[in-house]
Structure 1
Amino acid sequence: MKRIFALILGIFLWLNVVPTALAENTRLVPCAESSVFVERVQNAADSYYTTKPLRAYSRLLCGEDGLPHLVLDRLSLALDVLTPIVIFLYIAGWIGWTGRSYLRAIQKLGSQEEKEIFIDIPLFVKSMVLAFLWPASAVQEFLSGDLVNKDEEIPISIR
């Protein structure tokens, strides 16, 4: 029974029987034209923390609730969202690659436990500087097979 269902589901998905859903911006209006948003701006306290952001929000699109919504139907808005995401992923990868390269370097030196507790600052700074190019290093280690340990090299708990 499960196989028949899977076969039928596969045929339906393969033939694209499900109609394509199109997202249309029919409810959003520019915030400057939204009566609820304009009322919200007029009722807001006159301070730096409310006036300046609300002026910036007036260029966005607002819903029926008078609050700005970010619609990624334009390339410029998609780039506005994609830029911080890429920056975050790069910095997170840089931090991770710094720690990884430091741990691998102290493993080769032999005094691994001591240097995990008392950090070797010159070695750590060297690891940080080399980690700026972590995407290229990751690709290089992946292609050489050095990025991931083999199954035999991974310790397994005796529990």
Structure 2
Amino acid sequence: MKYIFALFLAITIWLHITPTALAENTTLVPCYKSPAFVERVKNAPDSYYTTKPLKAYSQLLCGEDGLPRIALDRLSLTIDVLIPIAIFIYTAGLIGWSGRSYLQAIKKQGMAEEKEIFIDIPLFISCVLMSLLWFVLAFKELMTGELTAKDEEIPISVR
């Protein structure tokens, strides 16, 4: 009987006393309410380069040290972060794909070593223009098998 009571008590405590974990930010406060941020604003020199940004920062959330933080708990802030990430990935892919396509083109033409040193500008510009849609070209090559090498083509060390 005492084991059943202990089990009943454990289940009751587990279900009713354990607080529910919420995925919301409770440590950050609006900057205009943060004493450290208000002190930072008071001690800042009065110039265009300090007052205007500090007024903009007052709408953000601050930590205990009074420095603004970006909490991604709102969709608008998430989009503000995802847009630069997407631009970076697109630009990095554009640069990589244009270089890759240029190296493949000069390899087919012959004299690849010479054209790596003395860049063929018209060919390079055409490769850059083609790589504006690099993600479509990469998907096409992935589906056709041109993007990846077969296992037989990969050299294995003799060690």
* Same fold, TM-score > 0.5, yes or no: yes
* Structural mapping, 1:44-59, within 5 Å: 44-59=44-59
Give me the identity figure in percent. Answer: 68
1:31 offset after TM fit, Å? 0.7
TM-score by length of 2: 0.81
Matched, 1:144 2:144: yes
**After the TM superposition, which of the residue ranges 90-99 and 33-42 deviates more from structure 2?**
33-42
Say how many residue pairs are matched: 140
Instruction: Tell me what 2:23 maps to.
Output: 23
Residue aligned with 2:56, SS: helix
Larger Rg: 2
Deviating beyond 6 angstroms after TM superposition, the runs of 4 or more aligned structure 1 residues are: none
Cα deviation digits, residues 73-126 of structure 1 (max 9, x gap): 110000011110110010000000000000011111111111111110000000
1:28 offset after TM fit, Å? 1.5
Matched, 1:132 2:132: yes
Matched, 1:113 2:118: no
Matched, 1:76 2:107: no
Instruction: Tell me what 1:42 maps to.
Output: 42
* TM-aligned CA distance change 1:152 to 1:115, over 3 Å: farther
Q: Distance in 2 between matches of 1:88 and 1:106?
A: 27
**After the TM superposition, which of the residue ranges 99-108 and 42-51 deviates more from structure 2?**
42-51
* TM-aligned CA distance change 1:157 to 1:103, over 3 Å: farther
Q: Distance in 2 between matches of 1:98 and 1:154?
A: 24
Task: Please give the root-mean-square deviation of Cα atoms over the aligned residues, in Å.
Answer: 1.8
Instruction: Tell me what 1:123 maps to.
Output: 123
Instruction: Tell me what 1:33 maps to.
Output: 33
1:21 offset after TM fit, Å? 5.4
**After the TM superposition, which of the residue ranges 29-38 and 114-123 deviates more from structure 2?**
29-38
Q: Distance in 2 between matches of 1:121 and 1:130?
A: 14
Q: Distance in 1 between matches of 2:74 and 2:66?
A: 21
Instruction: Tell me what 1:10 maps to.
Output: none
Gaps of 5+ in 2: 1-19
TM-score by length of 1: 0.81
